[in-house]
Amino acid sequence: GESVGLHLPTLSVQEGDNSIINCAYSNSASDYFIWYKQESGKGPQFIIDIRSNMDKRQGQRVTVLLNKTVKHLSLQIAATQPGDSAVYFCAENTGGYNKLIFGAGTRLAVHP
């Protein structure tokens, strides 16, 4: 919603540039990680996921990198577009099924 996202870190990029959003996760036993995109007034929308036996996964214009050594996850968006403006959350699955623990989020602002 409109009030969600206040006080979040913001990444500002120019349209056409590549964006990199970073996330540190907490549990070394987590085995599944997801990136979600949330537009204002809407629910989170799945972007891409990665399992702990991988260190990189690519989708359409998006790539997720996983570094288990330092418990770090990143989302790369190629050729960022105005429609990519949103809050992005990483989430980790700590205990089976989909008991996801979400990060605080990063706001991506794309400028023309």
Partner 1 sequence: NAGVTQTPKFQVLKTGQSMTLQCAQDMNHEYMSWYRQDPGMGLRLIHYSVGAGITDQGEVPNGYNVSRSTTEDFPLRLLSAAPSQTSVYFCASSKLDRDGGELFFGEGSRLTVL
**Interaction between residue 93 and partner 1 (CB under 8 A):** yes
Query: How far apart are CB 5 and partner 1 at their closest, in Å?
Result: 7
For partner 1, the closer of residues 77 and 103 by Cβ is 103
Q: Which stretch binds partner 1 (CB under 8 A): 10-18, 57-65, 75-83, 96-104?
A: 96-104
Task: Report long-range pairs for 84-87 (Cβ below 8 Å, ≥24 apart).
Answer: 84/19, 84/37, 84/108, 84/110, 85/39, 85/109, 85/110, 86/37, 86/38, 86/39, 86/40, 87/4, 87/5, 87/8, 87/37, 87/38
Q: Where along the sequence are the contacts to partner 1 (CB under 8 A)? A: 1, 3-8, 31-32, 34, 41-46, 49, 51, 89, 91, 93, 96-105
